[in-house]
Amino acid sequence: MESAQQIEHWIRNRQSTFVNGLKRGGQVPDELIEKLLDNASWAPSHGLVQAWEFKVFTREGLLSFYKGLQRIYKETVPAEKFNETRYQKFPEKADFVSHVIAIIMRRDPKRRFPRQEDLVSVAAATQNIYLSLQAYGLAGYLSTGDICYQSQTREFLGLDEEDECIGFFTIGVEDENYVRPPRTRIPAFEKTEWIRS
């Protein structure tokens, strides 16, 4: 029973800490990032395709990453939706972030299984990162959205036609003054149908 309580604890206490909850200048040792990625690599994968790939931006690489996203944002967002404040804040994030992991699905070259199976395995690897954050005393979140799926982002990350950027996992040190908003979930029974015959 203790094991059941432990797994419930880790799953139900998984949390996102956004940039506004990270400590300015907080640095995470590269060795801990390597542990997160090792844990990610134990996700289920049909036929052991292991379609995940990670590109880790840190130190000076962070500024290159955020300036790259800033450029892509300017190139791809229609004028009526362009937000100057958001645009200006891209490089400022580097002051609060220790590492950004671009999570990529590299399509199985042999095409052994449907594409969505590669995507699902990479999503499971991403959840392993999430579940590992608290265990290592780290904070972070997965950032997704339109910018991940632009052709300019694919070029920036060196992706082939059938590869996919799943998102950017931002990692840092939680600010001790950060007040975390309450978390809620819709109870499973509201989204469950039982078929018994």
Each residue's pLDDT, cut to its tens digit, for the chain (197 residues) gives 678 888 887 888 788 999 999 999 999 999 999 999 999 999 999 988 899 999 999 999 999 999 999 999 999 999 999 999 999 999 999 999 999 999 999 988 888 888 899 999 999 999 999 999 988 999 999 999 889 999 999 999 999 988 999 999 999 999 988 888 888 889 999 999 999 99
Domain 17-169 class in CATH: alpha beta
State the DSSP H helix or E strand holding residue 102, giving kind and residue range, or none if neither: strand 99-105
Rounded distance between C-alpha atoms, residue 117 and residue 112, angstroms: 10
| pTM confidence score | 0.91
Rounded distance between C-alpha atoms, residue 37 and residue 52, angstroms: 10
Coil, helix or strand at residue 101: strand
What is the DSSP code (8-state) at residue 22? B
- So what's the pLDDT on residue 7? 80
Instruction: Select from 141, 138, 122, 142 the least CA-distant residue to 40.
Output: 122
Residue 170 and residue 90 in contact, taking contact as beta carbons nearer than 8 Å: no
- So what's the pLDDT on residue 44? 93
Instruction: Select from 195, 44, 196 the least CA-distant residue to 125.
Output: 44
Residues 6+ apart with CB under 8 A from 12: none
Residue 146 and residue 167 in contact, taking contact as beta carbons nearer than 8 Å: no
- So what's the pLDDT on residue 108? 85
- So what's the pLDDT on residue 72? 95
End-to-end CA distance of the chain: 31
